[in-house]
Amino acid sequence: MRTVNLFVLAAVLTLSGCASTGNPESRATQNIRVVDGDTVEISTERGNETVRLIGIDTPETHAENTPREFDLPRTQAARRCLGRKGKAATRRVKSLVDSQNTSVSTDPAADRRGDYGRLLAYLYAGNTSVNRQLVEEGLARVYPSQFSHRGRYEALESRAVAERRGVWECLRFRRDPTS
């Protein structure tokens, strides 16, 4: 009876999307091109792939920013600030991966592919998690999705917000005088 209950529970979790979506997969990258702060194009032994950095979102560099995503007012000043921070995030990713051995790794707690068919993965430059580094430096926000390191990333984001690091410097454009 206990075995049947565990089987039913596992089946329910899998069908509801609450269970792991598979084993993590890691790939060394041979070439990497930084598209923006949260997207890179890589070459591996399996071919070319566009990778969306899992768990994070940086301001746009090739499209208009949505200030509300960063809890900012819809003003030109906020949009300009986000645009500058998006460029800073892109430069930071380039500096992290420059002259480093890079790899990507998927997350068993997350979907493998995003809305646009991009691989969702952690990017590593040497031993540094680029995703985590961007959140810690305030150059990315935690993206509202399911992934293994969410709690850790949220703590890093809270610290960056409190210290007004990176993109969180743009909070000065909020109308709330207590912010």
CB 57 within 8 A of CB 143: yes
pLDDT at position 11? 34
State the fold for domain 21-57+64-173: OB fold (Dihydrolipoamide Acetyltransferase, E2P) (2.40.50)
3-class DSSP state of 157: helix
pTM of the predicted structure, to 2 decimals? 0.83
Which residues touch 9 (CB under 8 Å, ≥6 apart)? none
The per-residue pLDDT for range 14-64, each reduced to its tens digit, is 333 333 446 778 888 889 999 999 999 999 888 899 999 999 999 999 999
Range with the poorest average pLDDT among 74-78, 113-117, 174-178: 174-178
Distance from C-alpha of 133 to C-alpha of 100, rounded to nearest angstrom: 15
- More confidently predicted of 12 and 35: 35
Tokens of 54: 């899992």
Q: 3-class SS at 91?
A: helix
Q: Which two tokens stand for residue 176?
A: 């709330």
Residue spans of the domains in the chain: they are 21-57+64-173
> Which active-site residues does the annotation give?
52, 60, 118
For residues 147 and 56, the answer to whether their CB atoms sit within 8 Å is: no
d(CA 147, CA 86) in angstroms, rounded, equals 23
Query: How many Å apart are CA 164 and CA 48, to the nearest integer?
Result: 37
**pLDDT at residue number 22:** 64
